[in-house]
Amino acid sequence: MSLALRLRHRFPSVQIDIAFDTPTPGVTVLFGPSGAGKSTVIAAVAGLLRPDTCRVEVDGQVIADTEAGIWLPPERRRIGMVFQDARLFPHMSVATNLRFGARRSAPGPVQFDEVVDLLGIGALLARRPHTLSGGERQRVAIGRALLAQPRLLLMDEPLASLDSARKAEILPYLTRLKTALRLPVIYVTHALDEVAQLADSLVLIEAGRVMGSGSVSEIAARTDLPLAQRDDAGALVLCRIMAHDVARELTRLEGGGAAFWVPLLDAPLQEERRIRIPAREVILAGKPPDAISVHNIVPGTIRRVTAEAARRSMLVEIALPSGVLLSRVTPDAVARLGLSPGAGILALIKSTSIEVLGS
Amino acid sequence: MAARAVSSGLPLAVLTAWVLVRYRFPGRSLLNALVHLPMVLPPVVTGWLLLIIFGVRGPIGVLLYDWFGVRLVFTTAGASLACAAMTFPVMVRAVRLSLETADPAFEQAARTLGAGRLDRLFNVTLPLASPGILVGGIVGYATCLGEFGAVITFAANIPGQTQTLPLAIYTALQVPGGEAKAAELSMVSVTLALVGLLLSEWVGKRINTALGR
Q: Per residue in A332-345, pLDDT tens?
A: 999 999 999 999 99
pLDDT at A90 over 70: yes
What Cα–Cα distance (Å) separates residue B70 from each residue in B36, B56, B58? Answer: 27, 9, 13
* B113/A104 touch (CB, cutoff 8 Å), yes or no: yes
CB atoms within 10 A of CB A71: 14
Instruction: Judge whether B110 is closer than 8 Å to chain A, CB to CB.
Output: yes
Tell me the residue type at A95. Answer: A
How far apart CA A165 and CA A172 sit, in angstroms, is 12
Task: Kindly report the backbone phi and psi dihedral angles of residue A77, in degrees, each rounded to the nearest multiple of 5, phi listed first.
Answer: -95, -20
Instruction: Give A-chain residues touching B130 at CB under 8 angstroms.
Output: 91
Instruction: Judge whether A218 is closer than 8 Å to chain B, CB to CB.
Output: no
For B113, the closest of A73, A90, A148 (CB atoms) is A148
- Give percent helix, percent strand, percent coil of chain A, each to the nearest 5: 30, 40, 35
In this prediction, residues A296-325 reach a mean pLDDT of: 91
For the entire predicted model, the pTM comes to 0.80
Instruction: Give A-chain residues touching B212 at CB under 8 angstroms.
Output: 90, 128-131
Residue B213 pLDDT class (50, 70, 90 cuts): low
How far apart CA A1 and CA A130 sit, in angstroms, is 40
The percentage of residues in chain A with a pLDDT greater than 90, rounded to a whole number, is: 57
Residue B57 pLDDT class (50, 70, 90 cuts): confident
pLDDT at A239 over 90: yes
pLDDT at A139: 92
Choice among A18-27, A224-233, A248-257 with the minimum mean pLDDT: A224-233
Query: Distance from A15 to chain B by nearest Cα, in Å?
Result: 25
pLDDT in tens, A31-74: 988 888 898 999 999 999 999 999 999 888 898 999 998 898 99
In this prediction, residues A278-297 reach a mean pLDDT of: 91
Instruction: Judge whether B127 is closer than 8 Å to chain A, CB to CB.
Output: yes
pLDDT at A359 over 60: no
pLDDT in tens, A100-142: 999 998 888 888 998 898 888 999 999 999 999 988 999 999 9
In this prediction, residues B182-198 reach a mean pLDDT of: 84
How far apart CA A166 and CA A252 sit, in angstroms, is 30
Instruction: Judge whether B115 is closer than 8 Å to chain A, CB to CB.
Output: yes
HSE of A336, CA atoms in CB hemisphere, 13 A: 8
Instruction: Give A-chain residues touching B108 at CB under 8 angstroms.
Output: 48, 74, 83, 87
Give buried/exposed letters for B4-43 (b at 16+ CB in 10 A, else e): bbbeebbeebbebbbebbeeeeeeeeeeeeebeebeebeb
Instruction: Judge whether B109 is closer than 8 Å to chain A, CB to CB.
Output: yes
Average pLDDT, chain B: 81
How far apart CA B190 and CA A225 sit, in angstroms, is 75
In this prediction, residues B156-160 reach a mean pLDDT of: 76
Residue that wins the pLDDT comparison between B149 and A291: A291
pLDDT at A321 over 60: yes
Asked if ipTM goes beyond 0.85, one says no
> What is the crossing angle of helices B28-40 and B43-54, to 10°?
120
For A101, the closest of B114, B127, B212 (CB atoms) is B114
pLDDT in tens, B167-179: 888 888 888 887 8
3-state secondary structure at position A49: coil
Residues in chain B: 213
* B106/A89 touch (CB, cutoff 8 Å), yes or no: yes
Instruction: Judge whether B209 is closer than 8 Å to chain A, CB to CB.
Output: no
CB atoms within 10 A of CB A131: 11
Task: Identify the burial level of A245 via C-beta atoms within 10 angstroms of its C-beta, where 0-12 means exposed, 13-18 middle and 19 or more buried.
Answer: exposed
